[in-house]
Structure formats: structure tokens, C-alpha cells
Chain A
């Protein structure tokens, strides 16, 4: 049994935010071990993909588990966006960047490069070699179309404030158009270089320019030339744009599972492409190496995604039906079972970018509202929540690197975590202190035995256990903890304010600025109704800067204020697990939601 425990490893896939990005500065990552591992895997230097040198594609197939069916070649619509669809599509669609194992934005040099001339002027250059598998070069037209899908409204105008109804059903909405109303600018439709001029600074500029789908296919399908499509976008030609939107929204749906469309419709710009006849409905999707790929060649000729729920994955790995698995929601039993498989399997456990927390309800009906128990009551609660016991009992058996999380905007495995927490949090809630909690409880003026409903989405055994642990401790401080788990928690209780404490997780915490939605007074995800001027101001400063140093400074302000006024209590980063057959090298877990397949083109069958 070779167990590699990385401090920044894994992804688990759960519902949550739609965009996932780094919370910390670029570069970094904790393990800096270079060179080649003793098991034949190449160890990476930092969170980005390792440099494998010259790779020749070896015949053979590597089989990885995927829990759901492929939906669409265009996985960017609101209807088709899914982690499982992306797991497959991301292998055949290139991009300027990808997320490293700890969420760092890494550059794909084979694809091209980009450079910030100023905080509002970014120049992108696509590699000259970059072509779609049908021979058409990847160029400006593709990125202009990608921009159009995130900028043009139903009324064929460029968005004003991103709130209009969009023409294209893009999952990301109209944010890009809101910030860059002019769109990318270039000399010609087939230019390899173009510039984005931001109207105002966006802290998340690096990840705004994302996957581009083939514009020439869209043009071809609606009966215009690529140049005409480009002109139509520039001139806001409604007829062409409506046709383009119709095709973009629906034309790439894979409506009939098992039947791949005409290959001309789904060209690849990545290391893999659909294998002919490689889709068996509900069973598997096979990708084969893209012969025209100009970047580092994929290590294995084919890659097969087999559709199977988490429950069956370990035995399938044992039987050789799968080579790489990433079971969802791992428990201590998942780990024991994989460990029982011995040397034939490599196991990697670690933390993910999904973090669990307790949030207070600030509504008037709540005991924690400032009009009731107020800060003293929240402090009393924070003093009695056994965070260490929860992590020790529930998380450590799965991932021995697990720690109690003391921040909300940075994760324990990220570089700035130490810096931010030491500035924002003095360790006062590290250990349970029932006496202090009692004192605070008395100070709050709450009645002895005040009912505290901890709401969460049931069924979820781990959260049930978490509430049990809190009850065992906090009932001594004067609270009467009630387990208020419910299958309707998110659509009923949370919205109605029928809870005192909400127990749930945020995934990936979104972009650099995503926390603004949660903690700012007007934030859409500020369910508890928290309001704090210092926090609001800090977010404003943060989101208007592209400087990582400013981001870190403002995070410290936000975190400190959230601790001092007790918005809520962070608990831990969710554990994740990846297991792979020891005959496959270079499998590497990642904390992001991209999942273990993020570096699938590097997986190589051991000789």
C-alpha cells in the first residue's frame, strides 16, 4: 500500500457554486518535491501539471469512473452545465488556463499566453499551432463568439448591467459583457492575438476568459462564413445572432445518448477527441488521442469514462473494471476498504475546496439576532461547539491531514492561510470552554434552555453526527440544541428563517470576489441577514483591485470582522479521496471540482 498524503489534494463533487477559482495568490502549493517518484509517477513542482518531457502515446486504455451521462458538446449552457459533463469535455477543449491542485490558476503554455498590460487591458495570444481537429485554426473568432455568448441580451444589445435576459443560455451569465462591453479586439477575424479592454477593474479577470467553442462550426451550421459571423457580432446583426444563439443553445445537445453526432460538429482542440462509436448509452464514453494535437501528447491512446455510482467503484477498481476512482462523499469505511486492497492500489486523501460551516440567523425570530441574545449568545455558542472533536471523530479517520478551519476565504492548504488567520483570529474558540460559554450565555440574557434549531439538508449522516456532538456540548452551556435536519431545508426552512443555525457547505467559494455575495449586506446568498459596514467596505476595495497583495489585506479585514462579530463558525474543509490502480502512473488528486481527471492526459500505464 503506497499512500501519498498531500496537504492539498482531492476534489469531491457536490452541489454548489458554479465557478471555482483560486482563493490565494498564483504560484505556490505546498509540496515542492520534484523529480520522479519511486513508483514511476513524475512528481510535480507545485500545484500545476508536472512536466513529463517528451511523451509518446502508448496503446492502451485507462478507465475512470464518472457518475453521470454525457449531455452535450456545449457544456456551458445553464441546462447542460455539470461537473460530470465537463469531466469529459474538458479533455477535448483547450483553454488559456486551468486550475492547479489547490485552486491556483495555472497557464497552459501550449494553448497560448496572456499578459496584463494594465489592470484593465489584457492581451491574449493563441499559439500558432493551435488548431481544431478539423484543421481550422483556433483564433479570434472563437473568442469573440465566447464573449458574445456572455454579453448580448435578448434585445440584441450589449448588456448594460448584466441583469437583462441573455440571448445565449450561458451558465456564466452576462458578467463578461458587463465588464468588457467592447468585446475582444483584433485586427482580423482569423487573428491569433486580441485584447480585452475592461471598463472597470475585475479582480477575477484571469478566469473570465474561459473555454471557447468552435465559431466556424456555428457559422457553418447557420449558413454564413466565419467572417460574416464575426461581423454580425460586431454589428449586432439580430438575424444572424439569433440563429447563432439557437444553434449554440441547442445544436450541440447530444439528445440521443449512445449516438455521437457528425464528427464535423464536435471538433477537438485538446489532447483527446471522441472515439468513433465510443459512446455506449448509460455505460461508457471513450475518448481517443487527438492526432492533430500540438501540445504534449497524451500518455495513453484511449481514455474511457465508465458510468457508475460511488457505491460500486471500489469493487470495480479491485476487479480491474476501473483504473481510477474518486468516490463521492467518502467515509471512514471507504478508506478502510481501499486500504484493504493492499499494494495493487494507490490511495490519496486530502482536503477539498468545499468547506463546512455553521451560520447564524440574524433574523428577529432568532435567538442570535442582535435584538435577542446578540453577540454574547453567539459567543456562548462558539465557545461550546466542539470543533476539534468534530474534526477528530468525523474527518481525521478519512483524511489524516484534516484540521479545524479558521477562515472562510482561504483554505488551510493554501499559502496565505497562515498569514490571514494569524491576523484575523486569536484562537479564542479553539477549545471548548463550557464555563466561559455559561458566562456569556448569562450575559446574553437568554432564558436557560433556549431552543436552538440547527438546520441542514437531510439525509446526511455526517451532519447528523455533527449536530449530536454540538448538542452533547452546548446543552451544558444553557442551550437546548434541536436537530432540525430536513429534506426541504434549502427551499423552505432556510428561506423562511425557520432555524437559528444553518449547517452546510460552500463549494470552492467561487471567484476571488464570490464571498461578497455571502457576507455583504446586499449579498444574494446572505441568508442569515448579516450586515456590517466594515465588511461591505472591504469587499468593495477587494473587488476593485487586481493586486493579490490587496486581496490578502482586505481578506484579513473581512475575516477579522467576521470572527469578531461572529457571522458564523467555519468547521473544516471536506475530505476527498482518489484511488488508482498501481499500474497507472501520474494520477494526482486535486482539491478543485475539476476532479481527478484534471490531468488525465498524463496518466500512463506502467510498463
Chain B
């Protein structure tokens, strides 16, 4: 019997391998053409002077040196960093609070979940333009609401000091996706643990801080890493609000918008590739640093 199987397994194995290669062949092609080759090409371009019209010319690390001395690059990097440092933590807290509120045994809670998630389905272009109206300084609903409390609302997208806050509020509106992931995490927490804590006399806060929160840390890590990666690459909203010059006063010029302008506005493909490579390295470094801290705060038990 064993011999029979061995006899049959060889031609079958070869046939299976052939079929396997055929099944994945579209992706193998894409892997080479749209991923591996572009990474090599981007690395080479980042070391070249290339304006599309003449062939690329190798210039070593000049682009990186230029980038280091370019105040606009620093400005854009600062804007992106500001945006990421605020929108990610605030977004995590808001999403967690919403998920805790939604994780209740209330009948018909599905409708609330749908409403919280809905903004994530709204196209970024449409949502951003709606927020331009909502945050309109004089007659926008937000500022008129602030006025009824007796305060003066900021000029949001018309004031360089507040425009990024407008973008952060917009990002909080789309927090529904992270909320659902937290909710899924909350529902994986064994109820027996909460029950046991309760029997030991732990109140709601103690149950949250000693049971729920530690068990949720892997999900927090997931949302944190995803949030960092995406907020570093914010483009749509910033481009729609401020265009390639970051109106008002360069305050919404995000790093990705700056790469876009360098590559497709000035056709300085070499310099843009260098900026993209730096973004890549920064993202790798930051996510690496986050993973480096996990031993201290992410609970891996159960």
C-alpha cells in the first residue's frame, strides 16, 4: 500500500506543483512587476537625478543631503508628525470608549453600531468637503454651536494654527473602523474572568483596569500600528483642504502631499523617490520601536 502511494505520489506531486504555479502565476507576475522591480527602481531613483525628460543620472546620496537641508520637507514632516501624534492617540481613546459603550446587552444596539461605522463608508473627498462646510468659521454648524455657549470658535481651515485640528476632527469622525476592531476584541474576553473579578469585589473601574484593559492590549497594539502607518501617509483630506501648497500658510502640507508635488508637480522623480524611501524607513523604525516596547505593556497570556 505504502509503495503504491509512493509510486503515485511522484507524478501527482509534479502535477500538483505545476497546477500550484499556474494558480499563483498572476501574482508572481505582479510580485515582480509591481513590487520587487519598483522597490529596486525606487532605490536607484532615489540616488539619481531624474526629471522624466532625460535619462536618470546617478548622483549618490545628493538627494538625501538636499532633503536634509530642505525646509519645506521639514515643514511637511512636522505637519504629518503633529497630525499623527494627535490623531492616533485621541482616535484610540475615542474608539475604545465607543466600543465599551457599544459592548452592552441592550436590545437593538446594532443600529448604533451601524451609525458609528457609517462615516468610514463615506468617500474621503465627499466627507472632507462636507467638513469644510461644517467647520465654516462664521456660519458653520460647529462654530454657531460653540457661539451659543458664549465662546468664539476658531477659524479652522482658514487659520494656519487651527487647520490641522480640523483634519484631526475629520479623522476622528472616521473612527468607526477601529471601534469595530475594539468591539471584536472586547467580545473575545472570557466572561468568566469578569465574573470572577466581580465576585472578588472589583467594581466597574477595577474590572476595566485589571481585566478588560490588559486583555485588550494586543488589539490596542494592532490599532496603534495600523493608525501610525496610515496617519503618516495621510493624503486625500490634506490635498482637498489645502492643495499642494498646504493652504492656509503651508499648515496642511502633509509629507505625502509634498512627495506628490515633488513627483507629479515638479517631475523631480529622483528627489521624490528619496523622500518616499525616507518615509518607508521612518515607518519601519517607528513600528519597530512600538514592537520593541510591547514586552512591557502587551499582555500575551490566556
A and B: bona fide binding partners: no
